[in-house]
């Protein structure tokens, strides 16, 4: 690290030339041996002599070796550009967090699902890449007669993938409790979408970590051959108000993280009780007819004001962070009110999400060929 200026001791440029000569770099044009040396130069300060940094650093096609640092975010970006991630690009729950990272690089798992029904228009939901071939989303995004050719998955601006399979949880039944006066019942509201071709890992397309998999164990710094699903639950869903977020699209390329708090402690009861204030459940008496143990609850104004999911956010992941890695603990399902066109949401505006831990047996069965290494 230097500002590129020399006060005493002489210029380091001749020393670099000596090192290159020692390694026989550049002698033979048929084999320049440039791969045997990488010299990175970091310019620090407001008056950096860029010409000196360029003379010190290596010069290779498609690689950056000179970096100007104005602060810690610039250093983070420099390391990202220096390190060869080709061997780790497919690891789950990794993102770019430096200042110049795009929304897709910050949320590389996020996809949009487009259902185009003949003569009925389009419907959009969100989802998450959980493997190169599979997207996790909400079952209510689909009708029972929807066909795979009607569905496309947008993995980036104007980058769409065709689908060859739709798999709804077998216990999802929207009308399953109409006999109890419940017009819409969202228990087990999860689905998997299988893509025709794999999504290659890249800075903008990476999988999100699913709990109770070997990849999640490594991300949690647990030994994969010794960790248990109970340990994952204890770390990722502790019984307290838990910081989490979901991602909401804002235009063709903008993705906005929306911070929420999962009510897993003493506020869980009041959060769930507000479900009966949803207009479809005005005549429902028993809360358990609407809210099952498979739901996570967010929203409201205590202890913080939470944003609510909007129409079109359904199916997106509820994400928690642990050790700078990202894990999916929920799937956005339904909300008490559609508040996104209102200036201010009431305190009882809650959102409900399917708890991923509660549908793991089904996920394990559907994803058994995806090399995720589900824990026993």
- 168 and 160 Cβ atoms separated by less than 8 Å: no
Which ranges in 193-338 belong to alpha helices (H)? 214-219, 229-236, 268-273
CA 361 to chain centre: 22
The structure tokens 């220096």 sit at 82
Report the C-alpha gap between 23 and 285 in whole angstroms. 80
Distance CA 339, CA 349 (A): 8
Indicate the pairing of strand 66-69 with strand 41-44. parallel
**140 a catalytic residue:** yes
Show the beta-strand stretches assigned E in the chain.
41-44, 66-69, 110-117, 121-129, 134-137, 151-156, 159-168, 191-195, 241-249, 255-263, 295-299, 317-322, 325-335, 350-355
Of 56, 57, 58, 66, nearest in space to 12 by CA: 56
Phi–psi pair at 246, nearest 5 degrees = -125, 165
Choice among 58, 103, 110, 140 that is catalytic: 140
Catalytic residue chosen out of the listed positions 128, 298, 314, 333: 314
Of 58, 65, 103, 189, which one is the catalytic site residue? Answer: 189
Can you say how many angstroms the Cα of residue 91 is from the centroid of all Cα atoms in its chain? 12
Active-site residue 86, yes or no?
no
248 in catalytic set: no
Mind telling me the catalytic residues? 140, 189, 314
């Amino acid at each position: 690290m230097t500002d590129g200026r020399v006060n005493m001791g002489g210029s380091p440029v001749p020393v670099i030339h000596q090192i290159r000569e020692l390694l026989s770099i550049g002698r033979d044009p048929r084999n320049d041996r440039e791969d045997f040396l990488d010299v990175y130069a970091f310019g620090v300060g407001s008056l950096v002599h860029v010409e000196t940094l360029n003379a010190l650093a290596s010069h290779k096609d498609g690689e950056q070796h000179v970096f100007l640092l104005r602060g810690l975010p610039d250093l983070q970006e420099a390391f990202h550009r220096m390190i060869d991630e080709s061997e780790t690009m497919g690891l789950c729950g990794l993102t770019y967090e430096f200042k110049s990272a795009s929304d897709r690089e910050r949320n590389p798992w996020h996809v949009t699902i487009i259902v185009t029904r003949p003569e009925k228009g389009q419907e959009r939901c969100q989802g998450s890449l959980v493997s190169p071939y599979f997207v996790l989303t909400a079952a209510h995004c689909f009708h029972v007669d929807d066909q795979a050719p009607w569905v496309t998955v947008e993995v980036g601006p104007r980058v769409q993938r065709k689908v060859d399979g739709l798999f709804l949880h077998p216990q999802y039944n929207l009308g399953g409790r109409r006999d109890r006066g419940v017009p819409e019942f969202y228990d087990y509201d999860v689905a998997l979408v299988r893509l025709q071709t794999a999504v290659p890992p890249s800075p903008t397309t990476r999988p999100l970590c699913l709990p109770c998999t070997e990849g999640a164990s490594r991300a949690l710094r647990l030994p994969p051959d010794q960790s248990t699903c109970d340990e994952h639950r204890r770390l990722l869903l502790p019984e307290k108000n838990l910081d989490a977020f979901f991602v909401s699209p804002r235009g063709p390329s903008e993705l906005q993280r929306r911070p929420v708090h999962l009510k897993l402690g003493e506020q869980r009861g009041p959060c769930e009780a507000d479900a009966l204030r949803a207009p479809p459940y005005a005549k429902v008496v028993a809360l358990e007819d609407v809210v099952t143990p498979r739901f996570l609850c967010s929203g409201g104004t205590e202890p913080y004001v939470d944003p609510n999911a909007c129409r079109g956010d359904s199916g997106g992941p509820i994400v928690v962070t642990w050790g700078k890695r990202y894990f999916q603990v929920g799937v956005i399902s339904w909300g008490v009110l559609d508040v996104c066109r209102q200036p201010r949401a009431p305190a009882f505006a809650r959102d409900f999400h399917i708890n991923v831990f509660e549908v793991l047996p089904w996920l394990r069965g559907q994803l058994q060929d995806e090399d995720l290494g589900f824990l026993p």
